[in-house]
Amino acid sequence: MRIAQVAPLAEAVPPKLYGGTERIVSYLTEELTALGHEVTLFASGDSVTSARLEPMLPQAIRLDPSIRDAVAPHMLMVQRVLDMAAGFDIVHFHIDHLQLPALRGRGVPYVSTFHGRLDLPEIQPLIAAFPEAPFVSISDSQRRPLGHIDVNWAGTILHGLPENLLPFSPREGGYIAFLGRMSPEKGPDAAIRIARTAGIPIRLAAKVDRADQAYFDEVVAPLLDQDGVEFIGEINEAEKAEFLGGAMCLLTPIAWPEPFGLVMIEAMACGTPVIAFNRGSVPEVVEDGVSGFIVEDELGALAALKGAAGLDRARVRAAFEARFTARRMAEDHLALYRRLLGQDRASVLRAV
Amino acid sequence: MRIAQVAPLAEAVPPKLYGGTERIVSYLTEELTALGHEVTLFASGDSVTSARLEPMLPQAIRLDPSIRDAVAPHMLMVQRVLDMAAGFDIVHFHIDHLQLPALRGRGVPYVSTFHGRLDLPEIQPLIAAFPEAPFVSISDSQRRPLGHIDVNWAGTILHGLPENLLPFSPREGGYIAFLGRMSPEKGPDAAIRIARTAGIPIRLAAKVDRADQAYFDEVVAPLLDQDGVEFIGEINEAEKAEFLGGAMCLLTPIAWPEPFGLVMIEAMACGTPVIAFNRGSVPEVVEDGVSGFIVEDELGALAALKGAAGLDRARVRAAFEARFTARRMAEDHLALYRRLLGQDRASVLRAV
């Protein structure tokens, strides 16, 4: 199939820094290429891919201080995609909504994945204005805020990671891991309280965004100065394997409906169980009692910590391999593309 | 003529706070309506107009803290305009570039005014990708950075103000006025130095944006603590008449190629001469020796201060009335719309 993947330009694909969407676009693009498809990646010029790269600007926007208008390069990209659309069987957009008015009625087969939260009041009327546009959700829970709107959902496809990105780690090092941003939504303060009450050491790997500096200074920093609490700052992709693989469990006491928490499947890839608050996509990702525990609050997490030590790390890894590889993610997308194009078996039967 | 004006949604039309583009869209919309045209204004719902308002969201984005994605309402607006396009003879966009890919090839007669600077590196390839799209520049100097690009310039139309917005003030109060943002580009530090060297009192009316706080604290604030220097903070539209009308001159020692400095024609409306640095649109706005003086630097401004006192304030006002009323601005736009639609005399002759 001739497939175009259209990435955000904020970060390179894969990202040099933080950038969940760009990572997923990279994994998807590489797997589709590995499966023999002719993939074109619209992305910043510092992207690295085995697909054909259509570079939209020399450097990703976040790394280029000369760029003030981050939308302009995206509008140019939308036009470039339209200009080249005849060369693709399907175009897959990952840039929120910027393509919608330009694509309407053009006869270009396309689909869009929304990677962010859909409960923003300004997003809903926009999606409602495009009832014909097919969307992919990254979890069923992501759709909830749009329950009252007529959306052409093409499917839910959970994220996946390259199978060998993070190796299985059969033994753990007796600490709880927290990995994410130091933001109220991610709940690092709850994580520390839970670990301290349980008397288990906790290590936190996290970046502090400028927007979260006050929260970090006022709420988190005072908690860091305790025995058994270690803040190791931001870690890169290469350091994740050791950090997550060495943990007895990952703790994600999130306080928002996260549409998909990549860190959960990263831990599972290492064989590390996940204790997660029951918000957003968590029940779609964690298999309660197998790959971790789904809890309601800090008290529930305390109880789950006892159980987590008893989970079989090999079964956690197996849960990852069964449901969260990039290969599975790519195959789900291929099936979805074929469905949209009417090339799947059911469509063919309907057409008869 | 059935005309659609498409305003930015950051501020209401007219703006409740700072918002040069929204003010111009308001003046243009009201004058076109007064001239008997059927005008539809796409804008935030808290806009006030005698045209037909198509409210795109209840409140302007800058006043609505619940909005995180400022682009989403604009994309919805572009689609709404497309949906209603058959009802307009011409659509006039004031939202930079967000309409370009969506409008291409739709058969909708439209024109776009760029209100900002065009020397940003990310803007130029975007405009170059739309050689068929007609643009209005707000000064000839605004076009300069695009000299090497094939742009379909439909015309330059300088801004204008409602004729009676700011009354003529025949007498002045012996001070220099500075009005604008406290930013390096606007040169408040240069204005203070010039006034102090000349020994003439200066009054500064300005807002301090968060982005400019460091500049203000480090560069401007130390200069404010001198005799003859008075900082009166931000003033509203109603206070402008007294502030500008009472000044012996307006001093705009700008350090950037400002595409159009509204404050210059505001001063002229009051009969107050303008001493402006020779950057951007200044030579297109100030008539040297009539409505003020165009100078190259601080030394030049010092010399001009002597001359400014000798200018006839009634002639300054006359220069405003001749070239910078909203009526003239609206008539220029009508002529431009007709030219684009092939309804002007020359087009008719060409068609024969």
Residues of chain B contacting residue A66, judged by C-beta atoms under 8 Å apart: 121
Kindly report the nearest CA distance between residue A195 and chain B, in angstroms.
34
**Chain mean pLDDT for chain A:** 95
- Number of separate domains in chain B: 2
d(CA A228, CA A225): 9
Q: Where are the alpha helices (DSSP H) in B105-261?
A: 123-128, 140-143, 188-198, 213-215, 221-224, 237-245
Residues of chain A contacting residue B6, judged by C-beta atoms under 8 Å apart: none
Can you give A4-42 as a three-state secondary structure string? EEECCCCCCCCCCCCCHHHHHHHHHHHHHHHCCCEEEEE
Indicate whether A121 and A213 sit together in one domain: no
The CA-based angle B110-B114-B115, given to 5 degrees, is 135
Kindly report the nearest CA distance between residue B9 and chain A, in angstroms.
12
| pLDDT the model gives residue B303 | 95
Indicate whether B144 and B191 sit together in one domain: no
| pLDDT the model gives residue B346 | 60
Taking chain B (352 residues) in runs of 10, the rounded mean pLDDT of each run is 97 88 97 98 98 96 90 98 98 97 97 92 94 97 93 97 96 95 95 97 94 95 96 90 97 95 97 97 97 97 93 98 98 97 66 44
| pLDDT the model gives residue B351 | 46
Tell the burial category of B193 from Cβ atoms under 10 Å away from its Cβ (0-12, 13-18, 19+). middle
Give the mutation candidate from A9, A54, A74, A75 for the B interface (greatest B CB count, under 10 A): A75
Interchain CB contacts (distance < 8 Å): A and B:
87
Residues of chain B contacting residue A80, judged by C-beta atoms under 8 Å apart: 129
pLDDT higher than threshold 90 for residue A198: yes
Assess if residue B46 is contained within a domain: yes
Kindly report the nearest CA distance between residue A33 and chain B, in angstroms.
29
Indicate whether B256 and B222 sit together in one domain: yes
Beta strands in B108-183 (DSSP E): 110-113, 134-137, 152-156, 175-181
pLDDT, tens only, A127-179: 999 999 999 999 999 999 998 999 999 999 999 999 999 999 999 999 999 99
Indicate whether B8 and B150 sit together in one domain: yes
The CA-based angle B102-B158-B31, given to 5 degrees, is 80
Among the listed residues B157, B230, B219, B161, the one whose alpha carbon sits nearest the alpha carbon of residue B196 = B230
The CA-based angle A289-A290-A292, given to 5 degrees, is 70
Kindly report the nearest CA distance between residue A192 and chain B, in angstroms.
30
CATH label of the domain that carries residue B296 = 3.40.50.2000
Indicate whether B136 and B204 sit together in one domain: no
Residue A97 tokens read as 């909504």
Residues A13, A25 contacting (CB under 8 angstroms): yes
| pLDDT the model gives residue B352 | 43
Give the mutation candidate from A44, A63, A68, A71 for the B interface (greatest B CB count, under 10 A): A71
CB contact under 8 A, B98 and A75: yes
pLDDT higher than threshold 50 for residue A261: yes
State whether the Cα torsion A208-A214-A219-A222 is positive or negative: positive
Kindly report the nearest CA distance between residue B112 and chain A, in angstroms.
15
pLDDT, tens only, A264-320: 999 999 999 999 999 999 999 999 999 999 999 999 999 999 999 899 999 999 999
The CA-based angle B246-B321-B161, given to 5 degrees, is 75
Residues of chain A contacting residue B68, judged by C-beta atoms under 8 Å apart: 120, 122
Q: Where are the alpha helices (DSSP H) in B11-99?
A: 20-34, 72-84
CB contact under 8 A, B98 and A76: no
pLDDT, tens only, A77-127: 999 999 999 999 999 999 999 999 999 999 999 999 999 889 888 999 999
d(CA A281, CA A138): 9
CB contact under 8 A, B69 and A120: yes
Indicate whether A284 and A334 sit together in one domain: no
Overall average pLDDT of the A319-336 stretch: 98
pLDDT higher than threshold 60 for residue A248: yes
CB contact under 8 A, B72 and A123: yes
Assess if residue B169 is contained within a domain: no
Assess if residue A155 is contained within a domain: yes
Indicate whether A146 and A212 sit together in one domain: no
pLDDT higher than threshold 60 for residue A207: yes
Indicate whether A7 and A156 sit together in one domain: yes
Q: Where are the alpha helices (DSSP H) in A20-122?
A: 20-34, 71-84, 100-103
| pLDDT the model gives residue B119 | 87
CB contact under 8 A, B79 and A101: yes
> Contacts for B239-242 with beta carbons within 8 Å, 24 or more apart?
B239/B205, B240/B166, B240/B179, B240/B266, B241/B166, B241/B167, B241/B169, B241/B270
- In angstroms and rounded to an integer, the radius of gyration of the C-alpha atoms of chain A is 21
Give the mutation candidate from B122, B127, B185 for the A interface (greatest A CB count, under 10 A): B122
CB contact under 8 A, A122 and B97: no
CB contact under 8 A, A73 and B130: no
The predicted complex's ipTM stands at: 0.90
CB contact under 8 A, B125 and A80: no
pLDDT higher than threshold 80 for residue A350: no
More reliable by pLDDT, A237 or B1? B1
| Helices and strands, counts by H and E, chain B | 15, 13
d(CA B71, CA A41): 24
Interface residues from chain B to A (CB-CB < 8 Å) = 57, 66-73, 75-76, 78-80, 82, 96-98, 100-102, 104, 120-123, 125-126, 129-130
Burial pattern B151-163, b for ≥16 Cβ within 10 A else e, equals beebebbbbbbbe
d(CA B110, CA B86): 12
Assess if residue B215 is contained within a domain: yes
| pLDDT the model gives residue A345 | 61
Indicate whether A201 and A329 sit together in one domain: no
| pLDDT the model gives residue A229 | 97
- At A349, which helix (H) or strand (E)? helix A345-351
Indicate whether B307 and B250 sit together in one domain: yes
Q: How long, in residues, is chain B?
A: 352
Indicate whether A156 and A71 sit together in one domain: yes
Indicate whether B85 and B114 sit together in one domain: yes
Residue A61 tokens read as 């926007």
Looking at the DSSP bridge assignments, the partners of residue B294 are B276
| pLDDT the model gives residue B350 | 53
Q: Which domain holds residue A252?
A: 176-323
